Amino acid sequence: MRYKNEEACVDRVIALIGQMRANREEEGAPVWKNIPLAKEMLDILCNRLPLQKSQFIDATGIVVCCDAIFLEDLLEQRDVPRLCLEFLQLRKRAEEARTAEDDQYDQERFLGVAEADKLRKQLELYIDPKVDTDWWLDYAGGHLRFDPVERSPEWEANIYEVEKEVDRRMAGEPRCMGFCHAYWPVKRTVLAKHGIEWRSPSQMNPRVMFD
C-alpha cells in the first residue's frame, strides 16, 4: 500500500498500533483482530528499509514498532509464529541499520538482543516439523499440551478467518467463567470447514479442569 507522503505513512503506523492496543483491551483480548493490522504495518515498515535521511520513520522507529508487538502482546505468537518471525527479522535488520543520527532509546523499554534472539529461536523451533511438540513444550516452559496442527502453516493461514467466524457465531455469548467450553466446540466446527482437524485443550489435557 502506498501513501502520498511520509507524514501519512507515520500517521497510519500510529493508527495501526493504536487500534491493535484497543483490540487487546477488549473483553477476552481478541488479538486475532490484529493479524491484518500487523501485516499492514509490517508492509509499511519493510518499505522503510533501506532508509533515507528524509524519511520520518528511522531505524530506531522500526525497532520500536516491532518491539511493541511482543512487549505489549499485540499478537498471539503461537497463532501466527511466521508473521512474528517476520517482525523479528525486520527488527534485526533495523537494529543493524541504526546510526548515531537515529533517535536513541532507553533499552529497558525494548527487547534486548539476547531476548530477541531467544524469542526468534523459540518460534523457529515451534514451526519446525521435525521438532516434537512435547519437546518444544518442555523447552519453552509450557504446561498444557496442544494439538500439533496449531504449529502448521495451514493453521496460521486460516486462523484469522476462523476466529472471525467464531466471533460472529458467538456474538452475545457472555465471556464469563466456563466460556471456553462453549467456545472450543464452535472453533472446532469452523476449523473443520477449513479442512483442519483440531483437538481442543480439554481433549489434549483430559486430567485438567478448565473454567
Q: Is residue 24 part of a domain?
A: yes
Same domain? For 18 and 84 the reply is yes
Q: Is residue 137 part of a domain?
A: no
Q: Is residue 139 part of a domain?
A: no
Same domain? For 98 and 165 the reply is no
Q: Is residue 22 part of a domain?
A: yes
Strands (E), the chain: none
Domain boundary among 79, 100, 127: 127
Pairs from 84-89 (Cβ < 8 Å, separation ≥ 24): 84/123, 85/120, 85/123, 85/124, 85/127, 86/42, 87/38, 87/42, 88/116, 88/119, 88/120, 88/123, 89/120
Under a CB-based contact definition with an 8 Å cutoff, are residues 179 and 170 in contact?
no
* H or E element, residue 39: helix 35-46
Same domain? For 189 and 96 the reply is no
* H or E element, residue 86: helix 81-97
**CA-closest candidate to residue 69, choices 56, 83, 55:** 83
Same domain? For 93 and 162 the reply is no
Measured CA to CA, the distance from residue 98 to residue 48 in angstroms comes to 13
Torsion angles phi and psi, residue 86, rounded to 5: -65, -40
Same domain? For 114 and 65 the reply is yes
CB neighbour list of residue 130: distance below 8 Å, 6 or more residues apart: none
Same domain? For 119 and 203 the reply is no
> Which pLDDT belongs to residue 106?
60
Same domain? For 150 and 193 the reply is yes
Domain boundary among 79, 98, 127: 127
Q: Say whether 182 sits in a helix, a strand or coil.
A: helix
Q: What is the pLDDT along the chain (211 residues), one digit of tens a residue?
A: 555 567 788 899 999 999 999 999 999 899 999 999 999 999 999 887 666 555 667 888 899 899 999 999 999 999 999 999 999 999 999 888 877 766 666 656 688 889 999 999 999 999 999 999 999 999 999 889 999 999 999 999 999 999 999 999 999 888 888 899 999 999 999 999 999 999 999 999 999 999 7
Domain boundary among 99, 127, 155: 127
**Residue carrying the nine cell digits 460472529:** 168
Same domain? For 59 and 13 the reply is yes
Measured CA to CA, the distance from residue 198 to residue 147 in angstroms comes to 7
Q: Is residue 132 part of a domain?
A: no
Cell of 4: 502520498
Under a CB-based contact definition with an 8 Å cutoff, are residues 75 and 69 in contact?
yes
Same domain? For 99 and 160 the reply is no
Same domain? For 56 and 122 the reply is yes
Q: Is residue 135 part of a domain?
A: no
- DSSP-derived letter for residue 31 is G
Same domain? For 110 and 11 the reply is yes
Q: Is residue 133 part of a domain?
A: no
> Which pLDDT belongs to residue 52?
59
Same domain? For 98 and 25 the reply is yes
Number of domains into which the chain is organized = 2
* H or E element, residue 6: helix 6-25
Domain that holds residue 161: 145-211
